[in-house]
Amino acid sequence: SQQGLSSVPSGIPDNT
């Protein structure tokens, strides 16, 4: 995924 604002359970910031 792209690095964004929403933190996903994976630990890395994810932006859809």
pLDDT at 4: 61
Quote the CA–CA distance of 3 and 10 in Å, as a whole number: 12
Q: What is the pLDDT of residues 1-16, one digit of tens each?
A: 566 666 666 666 666 6
d(CA 4, CA 9): 14
What pLDDT score does 6 carry?
62
pLDDT value at residue 5: 61
The pLDDT of residue 14 is 65
Q: Are 15 and 1 in contact (CB under 8 A)?
A: yes
In this prediction, residue 9 carries a pLDDT of 67
